[in-house]
Amino acid sequence: MEFRVENARVELVQGDITRQDTDAIVNAANPGLMGGGGVDGAIHRAGGPEILEECRRLGGCPPGEARITTGGRLAARYVIHAVGPVYYNGTSGEPEKLASAYRCSLTLADTHGLRSVSFPSISTGNYGYPVEQAAPIALRTVIDYLRRHPGLELVRFVLYDTPTYAVYEAALHTLAAEPARPQAER
Ligand code: ADP
C-alpha cells in the first residue's frame, strides 16, 4: 500500500530489502558496524566485501545514529547503516533512540542528495523491540520528517514477513485516524 506526505510517496511492501533499487537502503546495523545476522547479514552477503571494508574505516556508530557507505554490488547506490536500540523495557530511552535512528538515516539521505530510500523494521528482530510498539514510531518519524523536508520523493518500508507487514499496515490506519496534531506538538 502507499500514501502521500506532501510531495513524497510512502510505500509499505513485503519483501527483501537487499533487492530494492531505491537510491539507498537502510541497514539495521550493530554499533560495531562489523556485520551480523538478520538484515545486516543479508546486506553484506548481497553487497559484497566492499561495504564491510568501508564500515571498518568508520569506527562504529552509537545507537540512535546512522552512517553511510556505498552499496557495493547492490542495486542501491548507498547503504545507510542505522543502529536502533536494543529493547529493554520500553522506558529506557528506546522510543527516542528508535525515532532518532530513522531521523538520522533520513537526514543522511538528504545531505547526499538522494531521492529514495528503503527501510527495514529497525530493532524488531534480534534487538527485540515489539513491532506493535516500533511500527507507529517508525511511521510517525518518517511522516513528520517528510512534512518538514521537501527533498525525498520516496520512502519505502520493506517488511520481511506477513505479520510484520500487517502490524505496520494497522499502525498506519491508527495514525491516519488520529486527529491532526498542531505543528508545535509534532
Ligand atoms: P535488529 O537487530 O535491529 O532487530 P534484525 O535484522 O534482526 O535487526 O531484524 C529487523 C527486521 O528485519 C525483522 O523484522 C526481520 O525479520 C527483518 N529482516 C530480516 N531480513 C530481512 C531482509 N532481507 N529484508 C527486509 N527485512 C529483513
**Domain containing residue 155:** 2-185
Q: Pick the atom of ligand 1 nearest to 128's CA.
A: 4
Q: If you take atom 17 of ligand 1, which residue's CA is the nearest one?
A: 160
pLDDT tens digits, residue range 109-146? 999 999 999 999 999 999 999 999 999 999 999 999 99
Residues 119 and 105 sit within 8 Å (Cβ to Cβ): yes
pTM of the full structure: 0.96
Q: What CATH number should be reported for the domain holding residue 18?
A: 3.40.220.10
Strands annotated E in 15-173 = 24-28, 66-70, 78-82, 116-119, 154-159
Closest to 132 (Cα-Cα) out of 71, 87, 75: 87
Q: Which of 16, 21, 23, 40 is catalytic?
A: 40
**pLDDT tens digits along 17-29:** 999 999 999 999 9
Pick the atom of ligand 1 nearest to 161's CA. Answer: 16
Name the CA radius of gyration of the chain, rounded: 15
Total of domains in the chain = 1
